[in-house]
Amino acid sequence: MITRRDWLKLTAGGALGAAFPGIMRAAEAVAPYYRDYEKPLFDLPGTIKEPVIVEAIELLRRGGAHFVRTRTKNGAVGLIQTKQIAHFIPIFEHLVAPRFIGRDAREIESLIDVVHASDYKDVGLPFWVCVAYCEQSILDALGKTVGQPVGALLGGVLRSSVPVYLSGSGRELSAEEEVDVYLRGVAATGAQAVKFKIGGRMSRNLDAYPGRTETLVMLAREKLGSEIVLSADANGSYDPRKAIEVGQLLQDLNFSFFEEPCPFEALGETQAVTKALTMPVAGGEQDSSLWRFQWMIANEVVNIVQPDINYHGGLIRTLRVARMAEKAGLTIVPHNTQTGAASVNILQFASCTRNIGPHMEYPWRAPQREASWYTPNFLIKDGAIPVPTGPGMGLQIDPAYVAQLELVANIT
């Protein structure tokens, strides 16, 4: 038995490494990713010469839509639409937004770490969603301060158009009806890639109905043809044995990747599937921990990392995951359930990130409609969406629409 005195001796100098070589090898494998993502991503004070002090952050609402607006002392205003924040308003109002007030927005990268350190016991998806929307509204204000799009601030614009894969598939329709939805989608948008939901969603190997998955994936390949890139999302439906069985079918049908085959918390199960298949395995949409992504990458749990920009805490933290993935030779394809004005974040992210996949996720279930209260509208044409080039996040929101927003919270 190792006593406290023995342990102190072991931890002195190199004794620990000699006694526990396996532990030290694991630590060394992870360490490069840890050190890398802690390095600053960019130098905003070098780009924006004068301080941009955050004066107020407001939460606004119209109907079921919520918005976050940042006001700065130099007069710049950032305004972005949110999605999930309605459930987390107390966290936003009392824990997150106050941390940015009175601070220099140019230090947004370090400010996010300050917020984390201040409230680390409260972190998780609800917390990071609130951070993400504060961050994006602040970045919008910063971009407007210097007349540059956010992609230019976050490393430089690499692409002006983003190819997308159609997603949003459900499990309510029959296999035949679901394939028909995306036959129409490909025809309407010119998209060259589609993702289908398979299995039964965290269902312990149960399908939506018996045989649906097999029918769906085979019919999708038959109807959509060999030129369309297909992928599948199981939403944690399977144990490793069943996931490998389904994955082998997907491989035979030349699917491009297999998303979340096992429950997202079961990293060892997903790792087993990744090692057994030759096709890429993707995951990470539920994860909001940089340390967890670090471990997943270092231990080859997935081949494609998929943080959600909002669930994970914003563009900056997602860019940190991208850098970790790039160092390991992996691609990043963020999870995205948003369309319209709220989807501008994935376009700005894709515009400036080197190691994105060939297609970004974009939901499609029916013909797209143009909105009248903001421009540009993000309509898929020839399989891609242009990245907005205006300052900040790139949206122009009708002042008359903004005037009708109801104030929910004002943090000063």
Band (pLDDT 50/70/90 cuts) for residue 383 is very high
> What's the Cα-to-Cα distance from 127 to each of 116, 134, 153, rounded to whole Å?
9, 11, 25
Q: Is the pLDDT of residue 6 over 70?
A: no
Band (pLDDT 50/70/90 cuts) for residue 38 is low
- Can you give the pLDDT at residue 11? 46
Chain segment 268-314, per-residue pLDDT in tens: 999 999 999 999 999 999 999 999 999 999 999 999 999 999 999 99
Residue 267 in contact with residue 289, Cβ under 8 Å?
no
Residues of the chain with CATH 3.20.20.120: 153-396
Question: How many angstroms separate the CA atoms of 52 and 96, rounded?
Answer: 19
Share of the chain above pLDDT 70, in %: 91
Locate tokens 């996720």: which residue? 361
> What average pLDDT score do residues 34-38 get?
59
- Can you give the pLDDT at residue 83? 85
Q: Is the pLDDT of residue 10 over 60?
A: no
Of the given ranges (5-14, 78-87, 122-131), which has the lowest mean pLDDT?
A: 5-14
Give the ranges where 225-364 is alpha helix by DSSP (H): 240-252, 267-276, 290-298, 315-327, 344-352
Q: Is the pLDDT of residue 13 over 50?
A: no
Cis upstream peptide for 376 (omega within 30°): yes
Could you please state the CATH topology (level 3) that the domain comprising 153-396 is classified under: TIM Barrel (3.20.20)
Question: How many angstroms separate the CA atoms of 80 and 73, rounded?
Answer: 19
> What average pLDDT score do residues 320-327 get?
95
**Mean pLDDT computed over every residue of the chain:** 91
Closest CA to 122 of 131, 134, 133: 131
- Can you give the pLDDT at residue 194? 98
Chain segment 86-138, per-residue pLDDT in tens: 999 999 999 999 999 999 999 999 999 888 777 777 778 899 999 999 999 99
Question: How many angstroms separate the CA atoms of 259 and 280, rounded?
Answer: 9
Residues of the chain with CATH 3.30.390.10: 45-147+398-411
Q: Is the pLDDT of residue 401 over 60?
A: yes
DSSP state of 340: G
> What average pLDDT score do residues 202-227 get?
96
Q: Is the pLDDT of residue 226 over 70?
A: yes
DSSP state of 364: -
Locate tokens 């992504």: which residue? 293
For residue 389, give both structure tokens. Answer: 């080039």
Q: Report residue 396: phi and psi, to 5°.
A: -115, 115
Q: Is the pLDDT of residue 29 over 60?
A: no
Band (pLDDT 50/70/90 cuts) for residue 40 is confident
> What average pLDDT score do residues 193-204 get?
95
CATH class of 45-147+398-411: alpha beta
- Can you give the pLDDT at residue 41? 83
- Can you give the pLDDT at residue 9? 54
Question: How many angstroms separate the CA atoms of 229 and 333, rounded?
Answer: 15
Contact residues for 27 (Cβ-Cβ < 8 A; gap 6+): none
Chain segment 136-184, per-residue pLDDT in tens: 999 999 999 999 999 999 999 999 999 999 999 889 999 999 999 999 9
- Can you give the pLDDT at residue 27? 52
